[in-house]
Structure 1
Amino acid sequence: MKIGILTGGGDVPGLNPCIRSITLNADDNGWEVVGFKRGWQGVLEIDPDDPASIAANSVSLTRDGVRGIDRMGGTILHTSRLDPRTIADGDKTTQVLHTLQRVGVDAMVTLGGDGTLRFSAHLSRQGFPVISIPKTMDNDVFGTDYCIGFSTAVSRSVEAINALRTTVGSHERIGIIELFGRRSGETALLAGFLAQVDRTVIAEVPADLDVLLPLLARDKEESGSNYAMCVISEGATIRGEGNGDDTMRSLPGSEREDISVSRRLGRAIKQRLGFGTVIQELAYLMRAGEPDAMDRMVGLAFGALAVQLLARNEHARMVALKDGNYCHVPIGTLEESAKLVDVSGLYDPSTYRAKLMRVEGMPMFLY
C-alpha cells in the first residue's frame, strides 16, 4: 500500500510527531509513504507526467528521513489554506483524484483544521480512502475533545502571560493579552484560568464595558501591586455603550479591521478609567517552537491510530479524543455543528472568569 500525507491550514506544534508516527507505523506494515508539500496546493501543482513536478511537490517519507522531527515545531511538509473546491477557475476535486491515482496513492491521511478536514470529508464522499486527523490550536473541530496543537498553545500563552506580569506590575497598568480564537474562546478561557488572570473575555460571550471596566479597576486596586491582567479572544465582541451594537469587534472588511479587539479595549480603558495599559497580541508565538509533552503524545497516538484504521480497511474516519479516550468518528462529523466553549459549565459571564461548575466525573480534558 502507498499512503499519502499532507498538512493544511495553520501550523501547530505536534504535526511533526504525527507525521513521524504515521511513517513509522506504515513502515512496520511494509507500506510506502509520500508526503505532499503545502497541503492540497501541492497536490494540485503536480503534473503526473512530469517527474520534476512530482519531485518539487512531494517527498518520500522513510524511517530514516523522519528521525528527530518529533522534536521540531511546525510541519516539515509545509502548509497552505487552499481548498481545491474554491479555485477561481472552478472546483478541482476531479484533478485531485486524478493526480492521487496517477501517482499511485491508495489512501490519504490528512492533518488539518476545519478547512482541510472539510475537503477531506468531501474527497472521502467521492469514494477515495481518507483518514483525517484534527489539528488546531483553537481546539474548535467538532467531533473531538482535543486537537493537536492546543496544549502547546495554552502552555505558551500561560508562560507569556505570567512573564508579562513583571512589566504590567512595574508600571502599575492593566495588561491586556489577546489570544488567537476567532470562533471559539477555549484557548483564552483555559490560558486565563491556568494563569489565574483577573478577567477573561471569550468569543462566545459579548462583554459589557459597563460591567467589565469597573471589575478591572477593582482588580487593579485590590491586587496589592496596583495592576490587573485581562485575557481576551481575538474574536471577542464588546457591546457599544447605549446601542447594544458589538462596535468593538474586529470584523473583516470593516473600517475597524486593522485595529485589534485588544487595542480597542485598551483605548476604552484609557478613555473611561484613565489607566495606562500594556497590550500584547501573542498571535503566532502561540504556535511557535517545539511541541509540549501533550501534543507529542497525542500526535504520536493519532498517527498510530490512523495507520491502524487503514490496516483494518476502515476509511472515512476522523481520529478523535472523547471523554479522555482515543477513538474515531465519521469523517464528516465536523460538518455537523460548531465546537464552542460550554459557557454554562465552564464560564461565569457576570464576572468574566472561568468557573468549574462541575469536576467530579469529568475527563482530564476539562475543556
Structure 2
Amino acid sequence: MHIGILTGGGDVPGLNACIRSVTLSALDLSWEVTGFRRGWQGFLSVDPDNVQSVADHTRRLDREAVRGIDRMGGTILHTSRTDPRTTKDGDRTDHVLHVLKSLGIDAMITLGGDGTLRFSAHLASLGFPVISVPKTMDNDVYGTDYCIGFSTAVSRSVEAINALRTTTESHERIAVVELFGRRSGETALLAGFLAQVDRTVIAEVTADLDVLLPLLVADRKSRPTNYAVCVISEGARLSSDDGKSGGDISKSATQRDDIGVGQRLAREIEARTGQGTVVQELAYLMRAGEPDAMDRMVGFAFGGLAIQLLQQGKSGRMVALRDGNYCHVPAETLLQSQKSVDVSALYDAQNYRAKLMRVEGMPMFLY
C-alpha cells in the first residue's frame, strides 16, 4: 500500500512525532509513504506529468527521513491554510483526485485542524480512503476531546504567564496576557487556571467591563505586591466593543485593521481606572519549540492508530481521544457542530474564573 501524508493549518508541536509514527508503522508493514509538502496548497501545485514538480512538492519518507524528528517542533512537511474547494480558480477537488491516482496513492492521512479536516471529510465522502488526525492548540475540533498541540500550548502559556509576574509586580501594574483562541477559550481557561491568574476572559463570554475592571483593581489591591494578572482569549469580546471594533478574527494579525483584544482591554483598564498595564500577546510562541511529553505521546498514538485502521481496511475515520480513551469516529463528525468551552460546567462567568463543580469521574483535562 502507498500512503500519502500531509499537514495543514497552523503548525503545532507533536506533528513530527505523528509523522514519524505513521512512517515507521507503515514501513513495518512494507508500505510506502509519501509526504506532501505545504498541505493542500502544495498538493495543488503538483503536476503529476512533471518529474521536477513532483519532486518539489513531495518527499519520500523512510526511516532516515524521520529519524529524531519527534524531538522537533513544527512540521518537516511544512504547512498552509488551503481548502482545494475554495481557490481563486474555483473547486479543484478533481485535481486532487487526479494527483492521487497518478502518483498511485492508495490512502491519505491528513493532520490538521477544522479547515484541513473538512476537506479530508469531503474526500472521504467521494470514496477516497482518508484517515484524519486532529491537531490544533485551540483544541477546538469537534468529535475529539484532545488535539495534538494543546498540551504544549498550555504549558508554554503557563511558563510565560508566571515569568511575566516579575515585571508586572516590579511595576505594580495589571498584566493582560492574550492567548490564541479564536472560537474557543479552552486554552486560555486551562492556562489561566494552572497559572492561577486573577481573572480569565474566554471567547465564549462577552466581558462586562463594569464588572471585570473593578475585580482586577480589587485583585491588585488585595496583595502587598500590588499587581494582578488577567488572561484573555484572542477571540473574546468586550462590552465596550459595541460591534464596531475587534477586527476580523478569521484574518491573521497582520491583516486586521483593528488592534487585538488584549490591547483594547489594557486601554480600557488605564482609561477607566488609572492603573498602568503590561500587555503581552504570546501568539506564535505558544506553539513554538519542541513538544511536551503529552503531545509526543498523543502524536505517536494517533499516528499508530491511523495506520492500524488502514491495515484493518477502515477509512473515512478521524482518530480521537474520548473520555481518556483512544478511538475513532466518522471523518465527517467535525462538521456536525462547533466545539467550545462548556461555560455552565467549567466557567464562572460572573467572576471570570475557571470553576470545578466536580472532579470525581471527570477525564484528566476536565472536559
What TM-score comes out, normalization by structure 1 length? 0.97
The residue number in structure 1 matching 2:247 is 250
Assess if the C-alpha contact under 8 Å between 1:237 and 1:248 holds in 2.
no
Assess if the C-alpha contact under 8 Å between 1:23 and 1:33 holds in 2.
yes
Q: What percent of counterpart residues are identical?
A: 72
Q: In the TM superposition, what are the counterparts of 1:297-308 in structure 2 within 5 Å?
A: 297-308=297-308
Distance 1:280 1:118 in 2: 33
The residue number in structure 2 matching 1:282 is 282
The residue number in structure 1 matching 2:107 is 107
For structure 2, the 5+ residue unaligned runs are: none
Q: CA deviation at 1:351?
A: 0.2
Pair 1:127 & 2:136 matched = no
Distance 1:220 1:246 in 2: 30
- After superposition, the C-alpha distances for 1:151-200 in whole angstroms (9 at most, x for unaligned) are 00000000000000000000000000000001000000000000000000
Distance 1:152 1:224 in 2: 33
Distance 1:318 1:2 in 2: 19
Q: Which amino acid aligns with 1:319?
A: V
Q: CA deviation at 1:237?
A: 0.5
Q: Which amino acid aligns with 1:131?
A: I
The residue number in structure 2 matching 1:181 is 181
- After superposition, the C-alpha distances for 1:43-84 in whole angstroms (9 at most, x for unaligned) are 111111111110000000001210000000000000000110
Distance 1:258 1:342 in 2: 29
Q: Which amino acid aligns with 2:138?
A: D
For structure 1, the 5+ residue unaligned runs are: none
The residue number in structure 2 matching 1:48 is 48
The residue number in structure 2 matching 1:319 is 319
Pair 1:3 & 2:21 matched = no
- After superposition, the C-alpha distances for 1:205-232 in whole angstroms (9 at most, x for unaligned) are 0010000000000000002210000000
- Report how many residues are paired: 363
Pair 1:260 & 2:260 matched = yes
The residue number in structure 1 matching 2:358 is 358
**Aligned pair in 2 of structure 1 residues 247, 273: CA closer, same or farther (>3 Å)?**
farther
Partner of 1:257, secondary structure, is coil
Distance 1:51 1:300 in 2: 32
What TM-score comes out, normalization by structure 2 length? 0.97
The residue number in structure 2 matching 1:118 is 118
Assess if the C-alpha contact under 8 Å between 1:239 and 1:247 holds in 2.
no
Q: CA deviation at 1:251?
A: 3.4
Assess if the C-alpha contact under 8 Å between 1:248 and 1:265 holds in 2.
no
Partner of 1:207, secondary structure, is coil
Q: Which amino acid aligns with 1:93?
A: T
Distance 2:365 2:307 in 1: 25
Q: CA deviation at 1:246?
A: 4.7
The residue number in structure 1 matching 2:35 is 35
Q: Which runs of 4+ in 1 moved over 4 A?
A: none
Distance 1:233 1:197 in 2: 14
Q: Which amino acid aligns with 1:218?
A: A
Assess if the C-alpha contact under 8 Å between 1:239 and 1:248 holds in 2.
no
CA RMSD of aligned residues (A): 1.3
- After superposition, the C-alpha distances for 1:224-270 in whole angstroms (9 at most, x for unaligned) are 21000000000000112xxx9355533359x9833110111001110
Distance 2:223 2:74 in 1: 38
Q: Which amino acid aligns with 1:64?
A: E
The residue number in structure 1 matching 2:152 is 152
Assess if the C-alpha contact under 8 Å between 2:197 and 2:230 holds in 1.
yes
**Aligned pair in 2 of structure 1 residues 14, 66: CA closer, same or farther (>3 Å)?**
same
Distance 1:250 1:224 in 2: 38
Assess if the C-alpha contact under 8 Å between 1:239 and 1:246 holds in 2.
no
Pair 1:232 & 2:202 matched = no
The residue number in structure 2 matching 1:137 is 137
Assess if the C-alpha contact under 8 Å between 1:206 and 1:246 holds in 2.
no
Assess if the C-alpha contact under 8 Å between 1:206 and 1:238 holds in 2.
yes
- After superposition, the C-alpha distances for 1:272-292 in whole angstroms (9 at most, x for unaligned) are 100100000000000000000
